[in-house]
Structure 1
Amino acid sequence: MPNKITELFHIKYPIIQAGMIWNSGWRLASAASNAGILGLIGAGSMYPDVLREHIQKCKKATDKPFGVNVPMLYPNIQDIMDIIVEEGVKIVFTSAGNPKTWTSWLQDRGIIVVHVVSSVKFALKAQDAGVDAVVAEGFEAGGHNGRDETTTLTLIPMVKEQIDIPLIAAGGIATGKSMLAAMVLGADAVQVGSRFVASEESSAHQNFKQVVVDAKEGDTQLTLKELAPVRLIKNKFYNDIQELYKTAPTPEELKQLLGRARAKRGMFEGDLDEGELEIGQISGLIHDIKPVAQIVTDMMSEFETAKKEVPKL
């Protein structure tokens, strides 16, 4: 189904597999690209040499386009960007930083740049920075999130009204029906995260995948807004945060509780009590662990069926 995004990335379907920390290694990205969507390697959980290894393995596993998601808040960002260029990656999704910092540098080296935003204000800043497209991510999404708590249903049409470049919707999208809804609201494509966490190729620990499958409505919550808002599954660590909030903690006290490597501990190593378990609200609709190819087939089948049903409304 050709549109602005499928033509920009040279992919079959307008779906992007989100580049999530500790979940999106080369196996997931290559499987996504082989299924006709855009796979992304999540560089946020990788040292530069590890990222290089994942890029090289991904190139061997697929001849289709894939990209790298780069949170721009890490100290070794120059090394990461250099590796992306050296390894010939042609698509980069940036997040958690000012898009002006790297957009021109990457584009001058022949790389398509997409920036992730959580508000109209930041979408306009990304457009002004010259990015090729934006991902507008609603409050429902897992992991780090916008402070304004704007839902995808509200955010997508507001961003669409203000920008001229291609728009990718994210947050609460895991089915063909939600994909259709986002595109009716003005999105040219969707970015899907949580559904691909619960895939066979995800690098997440099996314990975490099972928690995602078992999650119900209300099992996730946005917290730690004083540091960087993050949506987590409610577990012992989450409950410890809530107990600390009762004491009106300072940001430093929150940082002390958070410590280091909580996300790795939870999502990659499978510590369901003390780990940080980042997942979206849509986890309540995820009931099984499937191969990526099957997830994509199911989404597109449901999308086409739902599209045929619309005239009946």
Structure 2
Amino acid sequence: MNRIKELFNIEYPIVQGGMIWASGWKLASAVSNAGGLGLIGAGSMYPDVLRTHIQKCKKATQKPFGVNIPMLYPNLEEIINIIIEEGVKIVFTSAGNPKTYTSFLKEKGITVVHVVSSVKFALKAQEAGVDAIVAEGFEAGGHNGRDETTTLALIPMVKEKVNIPLIAAGGIATGAAMYAVMALGADGVQVGSRFVASVEASSHPEFKRMVVEAKEGDTSLTLKELAPVRMLKNNFYNQVIELYKKGPSVEELKTLLGRARAKKGMFEGDLEEGELEIGQVSGLIHDIKPAADIVKDLVAEFRITQNKMTSILI
């Protein structure tokens, strides 16, 4: 039995990333209904908005779904309380210390998964008592690890050190990539960028179009002094590069970033001045599809790759 399917009681070991400005109740419920695990991305939601999304998701699916919480969230305690009050049974935490809430959530009967970018933090998460780990490689979109370890290297290194279920993330948009990381030791995958280019994602249509049109090399990881983030190159990115030429202070970088830059780009559709967070694998995404079709494609491609590899003798 696959450990991720068993842990979440889902049909396929496919988890949809809880991405800001993309992962609302429509996307989460669609992925869950298709047999994966949908996640609501709390990182871009005020507490009352999150409660509404959870309630709508419960009405839209009878299947398991979860909520992704960045631990840097300013209203973290309120968010946690809403999750408990609304009966959410799966929580993914990221960008913070897993010890903070893991034991508390587990006491409430909630399955806890933590997102890491290194072996060091994977071990800390396991020590904190999480039920599973998402190991996310350097290719991933949005906020990223500082070590720049690629998924191909990260997954087997984490697998070597931990014994709890392992979910691979970063650069996975096809069934072949899913097969590859599971061959390296992952029990399942978390897919982000591919689901941004879905019908149900709450991202702005113009941002989705730009993702589909992206080519190799159109993303870059920057702003390491604040929090490393991978984004599409646009006018805002060019401003960041120009500022770096002057050896800016952290305060100068913060001033340029300002507030709500990601919302401006990904949710409001300002392709020039917004922060457009997406992974390197955007160069492999060529269309916008219903989430159910994306899940179906991943599974079909996985099986094709599986059959192909069993017939190859190196």
Q: Place the TM-score, normalised by the shorter chain, in its bin.
A: over 0.9
Q: Provide the TM-score with structure 2 as the length reference.
A: 0.99
Q: What is the RMSD of the two structures over their aligned residues, measured on CA atoms?
A: 0.4
Give the aligned partner of residue 220 of structure 2: 221
What is aligned with 1:240? 239
Listed one character per residue, the Cα deviations across residues 142-165 of structure 1 (whole Å, up to 9, x for unaligned) are 000000000000000000000010
In 2, the alpha carbon distance for the partners of 1:223 and 1:45 equals 21
Alignment correspondent of 1:289: 288
Q: Distance in 2 between matches of 1:222 and 1:30?
A: 30
Is 1:275 paired with 2:283? Answer: no
The answer on 1:180 being equivalent to 2:179 is: yes
| CA displacement at 1:312 relative to structure 2 | 2.5
Residue equivalent to 2:148: 149
Residue 123 of structure 2 corresponds to residue 124 of structure 1: yes
Letter in 2 for 1:267: M
1:1-313 alignment runs, 5 A limit: 2-313=1-312
Regions of 4+ moved over 2 Å: none
Cα distance in structure 2, aligned partners of 1:273 and 1:267: 11
| Offset of residue 60 of structure 1 | 0.3
Task: Give me the whole-angstrom Cα distance separating, in 2, the residues matched to 1:129 and 1:74.
Answer: 20
SS at match of 2:99: helix
Point out where structure 1 has 5 or more consecutive residues left out of the alignment: none
> For the residues of structure 1 that align with 2:105 and 2:82, how far apart are their CA atoms?
12
Shift of 1:74: 1.5
Q: Aligned equivalents of 1:241 and 1:78: distance in 2? A: 33
For 2:22, give the aligned amino acid. Answer: N
Distance (whole Å) between structure 2 residues aligned to residue 278 and residue 210 of structure 1: 13
Cα deviation, residue 311, structure 1? 2.0
Q: Secondary structure at the match of 2:300?
A: helix
Q: Deviations over 1:96-146 (max 9, x none)?
A: 000000000100000000000000000000000000000000000000000
- d(CA) in 2 for partners of 1:9 and 1:218? 35
Percentage of matched positions with identical amino acids: 75
AA matched with 1:26: W
**Consecutive unaligned residues in structure 2, runs of 5 or more:** none
Task: Tell me how many residue pairs correspond in the alignment.
Answer: 312
Render the CA deviation track for 1:15-44: whole Å, top value 9, x for unaligned: 000000000000000000000000000000
Deviation of the 1:75 alpha carbon: 1.7
Look up the SS of the partner of 2:303 in the other structure. Answer: helix
Distance in structure 2 (CA, Å) of the matches to 1:282 and 1:214 = 12
Counterpart code for 1:17: Q
SS at match of 2:84: helix
Once the two structures are TM-superposed, the CA of residue 172 in structure 1 deviates from its matched residue by 0.1
Q: Which amino acid aligns with 1:220?
A: T
Question: CA–CA distance in 2 between the matches of 1:212 and 1:137?
Answer: 20
What is the DSSP-based 3-state SS (H/G/I as helix, E as strand, rest coil) of the residue aligned with 1:12? coil
* Cα distance, 1:258 vs structure 2: 0.1
Question: Displacement, 1:239?
Answer: 0.3
